[in-house]
């Protein structure tokens, strides 16, 4: 291989690298285009909610949804040692239907671990129950009520 051929290949390689860098800089310095913001109504038109359609079909009759309500599990902390599952259920029932109320106990001693879980039948009632019962008093203790999270 001769030196002029080698130089020609090196020059071609260098030219290709310069062009690539130039294109990269042009793209970087090009003005950005603002994304077009489009609402769902613009794409598919004015779509009525399920509740509106049900109201128009049923008139003034109460709206009955065919799907089952989705339950919500709430964490209840800072419970008294004397608090039972029944007392916990009674405390939550005025704020919505309760599917389950459980005070967690120690496996070995059977003593309360001072927290529990309440499962509300419908998740739509959970925010009202949390705001009404968080920091309320149950068996002489101020309880903490939050949405339960998965164990890690």
pTM above 0.75, yes or no: no
Q: For residues 77 and 141, is the Cβ–Cβ distance under 8 A?
A: no
Q: Is residue 13 domain-resident?
A: no
Q: Is residue 123 domain-resident?
A: yes
Q: Is residue 34 domain-resident?
A: no
- The predicted model gives 41-65 an average pLDDT of 73
According to the model, what pLDDT value does residue 12 have? Answer: 94
- Of 49 and 122, which is predicted with more confidence? 122
CATH number at residue 102: 3.30.70.330
CA atoms within 13 A on the CB side of 140: 4
Q: Does residue 80 sit in helix, strand or coil?
A: coil
3-state SS track over 108-145: CCCCEEEEEEEEECCHHHHHHHHHHHCCCEECCEECEE
Q: Is residue 90 domain-resident?
A: yes
According to the model, what pLDDT value does residue 99 have? Answer: 94
Q: Is residue 87 domain-resident?
A: yes
Q: Is residue 85 domain-resident?
A: yes
Mean pLDDT, the chain, integer: 88
- The predicted model gives 48-67 an average pLDDT of 73
* Domain interval for residue 77: 72-147
According to the model, what pLDDT value does residue 64 have? Answer: 65
Q: Is residue 111 domain-resident?
A: yes
- The predicted model gives 135-152 an average pLDDT of 91
pLDDT digits (tens, 9 = 90+) for 77-97: 999 999 999 999 999 999 999
Q: What does the block give as tokens for 71?
A: 């339950």
Is the confidence at residue 39, as pLDDT, over 80?
Answer: no
The total domain count for the chain is 1
Q: Is residue 54 domain-resident?
A: no
């Amino acid at each position: 291989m001769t030196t002029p051929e080698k130089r020609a290949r090196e020059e071609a390689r260098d030219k290709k690298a310069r062009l690539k860098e130039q294109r990269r800089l042009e793209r970087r310095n090009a003005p950005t285009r603002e994304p077009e913001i489009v609402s769902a109504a613009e794409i598919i038109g004015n779509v009525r909610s399920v509740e509106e359609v049900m109201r128009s079909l049923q008139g003034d009759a109460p709206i009955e949804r065919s799907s089952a309500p989705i339950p919500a599990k709430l964490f209840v902390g800072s419970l008294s040692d004397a608090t039972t599952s029944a007392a916990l259920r009674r405390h939550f029932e005025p704020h919505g239907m309760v599917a389950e109320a459980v005070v967690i106990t120690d496996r070995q001693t059977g003593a309360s671990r001072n927290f529990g879980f309440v499962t509300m039948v419908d998740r739509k009632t959970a925010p009202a129950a949390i705001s009404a019962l968080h920091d309320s008093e149950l068996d002489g203790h101020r309880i903490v009520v939050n949405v339960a999270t998965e164990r890690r």
